[in-house]
Amino acid sequence: MNDIIGYIITILVGITLGLMGSGGSILTVPNLVYLFDINTVQATTYSLFIIGITSLIGSYDKIKNGLVNFRLVIIFGIPSLLAMIVTRIYILKFLSQQIYFPYLGVISKDIYLIFAFAIVMIFAAYSMITNKQEDCIECGKKMEKKTFLLLFQGIIIGTISGIFGAGGGFLIIPGLVVFAKVPMKNAVATSLFLVAINSIIGFTSDFQQFNTLNWTLLLSMTILSIIGIVLGNYLVRYVDASKLKPYFGYFILFIASLILIQEFVLNS
């Protein structure tokens, strides 16, 4: 039964990526951990492959329609990519297997990573829910000139993405919309392309784990996710871009709440 639910969620992952340009890893990592019983660290590797291939295929339609901002891909994407590679190869392996938290005691690496993942999600959700900015093409063009700010955001997002096995879309979109003032639909398209690059490169940096992966499960989930993104790319034509921002924020907040309840209420 868990497998069936997990496969349904995998299709929703693709739909979410098509509609929002992100959110895939937010569903994929908990899906793998709770429904397919894969440990958190390895789930991040699975997530990078599923999200990377799905996003790459889903990007084609958005590139064809001229929605991807390639200047931002370079400014945002290169530092993000380099930060992700460094994080996956060097930083992740040096994270402590256990950490002591006051009032909570000793917590394992799997638990504190999923907890930190949920906290990051809450901050991303807050920025999207409270941001009342209207789409502004000229604003976006002006902010593109602030290269240093965008480079810095890319490094931060790449590092966080590397730790949590996320393509980074749930952070890239708030960054593009709130700070770079990019119109939502362009932010969605640009994010999806960046997620594809980050995820695929991040996955290949974990080549030592390739022989330990369940490739049958991995490819099955990827195919279902691709089906979902095809549906999402179709549905996005009928969605008001201005409504995506708060909906996306509440969606992230809901998933983060489920993770925290599962780990610190139901498992306590």
pLDDT digits over 168-185, tens only? Answer: 666 777 677 766 677 777
Residue 150 predicted with pLDDT over 80: no
Average pLDDT over residues 185-203: 83
Within 13 Å, how many C-alpha atoms sit on residue 218's CB side? 20
Residue 199 predicted with pLDDT over 70: yes
**What's the chain's Rg over C-alpha atoms?**
17
Count Cβ atoms below 10 Å from residue 17 Cβ, excluding itself.
Answer: 35
Flag the least confident range among 8-12, 87-91, 131-135, 255-259.
Answer: 131-135
**3-class state of residue 224 by DSSP:** helix
Q: What per-residue confidence (pLDDT) applies to 140?
A: 45
pLDDT digits over 66-97, tens only? Answer: 888 888 888 878 888 888 888 877 877 777 77
Within 13 Å, how many C-alpha atoms sit on residue 23's CB side? 30
Separation of CA 67 from chain center = 19
C-beta of residue 164 within 8 angstroms of C-beta of residue 208: no
Q: What per-residue confidence (pLDDT) applies to 86?
A: 85
Percentage of the chain lying above the pLDDT 90 cut: 10
Two structure tokens written together for 221: 């989930």
Beta bridge partners of 101: 105
**Tokens 């460094």 sit on residue:** 86
Percentage of the chain lying above the pLDDT 70 cut: 81
Alpha carbons 74 and 264: distance in angstroms, whole number: 40
Instruction: Say which residue, 57 or 131, is predicted with more confidence.
Output: 57
**Number of domain units in the chain:** 1
Which residues lie closer than 8 Å to 263 by C-beta, 6 or more apart?
111, 114, 115, 118
Q: What per-residue confidence (pLDDT) applies to 266?
A: 63
Two structure tokens written together for 180: 């770079």
The pLDDT-based confidence of 137 (bands split at 50, 70, 90) is very low
Alpha carbons 202 and 112: distance in angstroms, whole number: 21
Alpha carbons 251 and 247: distance in angstroms, whole number: 6
Q: Which domain holds residue 199?
A: 2-266
- How far CA 133 is from CA of 124, 181, 212, 236, in Å, comes to 16, 8, 46, 20
Q: What is the mean pLDDT of the chain?
A: 78
Q: What per-residue confidence (pLDDT) applies to 22?
A: 67
pTM: 0.75
Instruction: Say which residue, 247 or 21, is predicted with more confidence.
Output: 247
Length of the chain: 268
Count Cβ atoms below 10 Å from residue 40 Cβ, excluding itself.
Answer: 20
- How far CA 181 is from CA of 69, 90, 141, 171, 186, in Å, comes to 13, 33, 8, 14, 10
C-beta of residue 45 within 8 angstroms of C-beta of residue 165: yes
Dihedral of CA 77/80/83/85: which sign? negative
Q: What per-residue confidence (pLDDT) applies to 101?
A: 65
pLDDT digits over 59-68, tens only? Answer: 888 888 888 8
